């Protein structure tokens, strides 16, 4: 294959080497920006017409041609040519084939630098909205399942060791809070995507009388960017998106890890539905939690994508450098990875079976009440450290003699500390351990019920906000 003529400009006397064409082409992945490139180009063409830089006839032809190409892209019939390097040149070339020389007027007052920055900002707006939608669905599933299991009790863990009894609803609402903060990060991104790069040109703007306010408004931005150099050189909104994706994937990974553990025979707390499990190629009895395992594994991709773009950006002088071509693959991959992970994990949670008896059996471990025994001494005026030491000795005594902590009499307890007011049977119970933790954020039934009510109100507000955002885009 011989070298091809460059698709633009008269500066060069030698065609690009085919190896360079292959190395530098981005259309294999930046075609995802096609619909946004069409939107930006239509807004730009109409603005040029309003400013008298294009005739009404030229604008009509350009808009009709762009809309036709847009339909081809949406239908998947557009033939992207790798030799044309990127999505922008592919669209322009197709427009030239349809309209002839008038297509060349579209690039008036515009550079690929501000063009791609605008396309990317439009993409990120939609990607952030899609992430919020996926998080909304997952949080709705968590609240639904939590509502079903207000009275299901299991051990809470620290260091993966049984610690204190909690309600399953309280446990799942912890993830509801994490994913709520994730949704907030994607919502906050809108503030960094409020200004339009279009009209910044290559880096210094244009001598032509462009109306940047007009194109900004047409594309749903609040205003044009305030600095043309910053507009084409910066990708911090993309970094923020990748960061939000990475954090959300870490939270998904933690939830997925618990599903893997809980579905093991050693825990036996849940069973994943067959639709979200796989078998073994060798062992017929196996039911593997592949879906949460894959989600857990894919969190590494999202973390890596953030590190990739941070590394690309850290050494770039102003303004645009071709290194920035490397921003798109990490963004597209993280958006897809997060979206798919949210979908399959929501399905896994919605359909899993909870073994309430197995959880109750584990929560019945009397050692989970040891802290309550120490706090009984605190209520008698004993310093907590002193109470902690006394109860630690009681626990060791019970373990070495295979005794139930709850069966110790007042005389038994007083052998370790004289301040015990009564026997353990009167001081300790699973129900009391739950209900006396009634501080805000605690696992008492009243607090968990309040938290569920608040969560449902929050979800309704978020659903309304998502609907308003979609109708306004």
Catalytic residues: 159, 280
Whose tokens are 């009681």? That residue is 394
Q: Which two tokens stand for residue 50?
A: 């309003």
Alpha-carbon gap, residue 97 to 362, rounded angstroms: 71
Q: Which two tokens stand for residue 155?
A: 């051990």
Whose tokens are 């994937």? That residue is 249
Element (H, E) at 162: strand 161-167
Radius of gyration of the chain (CA): 30
Alpha-carbon gap, residue 432 to 434, rounded angstroms: 5
- Angle, alpha carbons 47-50-52 (nearest 5°): 110
Q: Which two tokens stand for residue 454?
A: 């608040």
Q: Which two tokens stand for residue 424?
A: 């353990």
Whose tokens are 């669209």? That residue is 91
Whose tokens are 């009790």? That residue is 153
Phi, psi of 16 (to 5 degrees): -70, 135
Phi, psi of 329 (to 5 degrees): -60, -45
Q: Which two tokens stand for residue 339?
A: 């979206």
Relative to beta strand 153-158, strand 161-167 is antiparallel
């Amino acid at each position: 294959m011989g070298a091809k003529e460059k698709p633009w400009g008269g500066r060069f006397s030698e065609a690009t080497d085919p190896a360079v064409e292959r190395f530098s082409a981005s259309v294999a992945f930046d075609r995802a920006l096609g619909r946004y490139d069409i939107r930006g180009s239509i807004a730009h063409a109409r603005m040029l017409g309003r400013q008298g830089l294009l005739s009404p006839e030229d604008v009509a032809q350009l808009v009709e041609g762009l809309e036709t190409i847009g339909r081809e892209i949406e239908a998947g019939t557009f033939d992207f040519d790798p030799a044309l390097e990127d999505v922008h040149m592919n669209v322009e070339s197709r427009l030239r084939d349809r309209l002839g020389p008038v297509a060349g007027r579209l690039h008036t007052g515009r550079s690929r630098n501000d063009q791609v920055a605008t396309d990317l900002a439009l993409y990120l707006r939609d990607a952030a909205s899609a992430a919020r939608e996926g998080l909304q669905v997952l949080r709705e599933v968590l609240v639904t399942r939590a509502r079903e299991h207000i009275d299901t009790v299991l051990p809470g863990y620290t260091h993966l060791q049984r610690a204190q009894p909690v309600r399953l609803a309280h446990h799942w609402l912890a993830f509801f809070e994490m994913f709520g903060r994730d949704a907030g990060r994607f919502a906050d991104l809108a503030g960094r995507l409020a200004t339009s790069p279009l009209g910044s040109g290559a880096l210094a703007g244009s001598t032509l009388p462009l109306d940047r306010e007009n194109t900004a408004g047409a594309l749903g931005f609040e205003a044009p960017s305030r600095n043309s150099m910053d507009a084409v050189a910066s990708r911090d909104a993309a970094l923020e998106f990748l960061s939000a994706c990475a954090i959300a994937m870490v939270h998904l990974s933690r939830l997925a890890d618990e599903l893997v553990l809980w579905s093991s025979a050693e825990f036996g707390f849940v069973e994943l539905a067959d639709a979200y499990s796989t078998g073994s190629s060798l062992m017929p009895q196996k039911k593997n939690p592949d879906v949460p395992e894959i989600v857990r594994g894919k969190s590494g991709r999202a973390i890596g994508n953030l590190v990739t773009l941070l590394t690309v950006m850290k050494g770039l002088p102003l303004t645009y450098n071709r290194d920035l071509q490397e921003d798109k693959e990490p963004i597209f991959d993280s958006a897809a990875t997060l979206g798919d992970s949210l979908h399959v994990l929501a399905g896994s949670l919605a359909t899993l079976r909870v073994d309430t008896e197995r959880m109750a059996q584990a929560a019945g471990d009397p050692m989970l009440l040891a802290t309550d025994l120490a706090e009984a001494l605190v209520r008698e005026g004993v310093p907590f450290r002193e109470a902690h030491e006394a109860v630690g000795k009681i626990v060791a005594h019970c373990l070495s003699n295979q005794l139930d902590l709850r069966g110790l009499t007042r005389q038994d307890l007083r052998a370790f500390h004289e301040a015990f007011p009564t026997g353990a049977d009167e001081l300790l119970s699973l129900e009391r351990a739950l209900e006396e933790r009634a501080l805000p954020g605690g696992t008492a039934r009243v607090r968990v019920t309040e938290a569920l009510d608040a969560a449902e109100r929050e979800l309704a507000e978020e659903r309304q906000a998502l609907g308003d955002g979609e109708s306004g885009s």
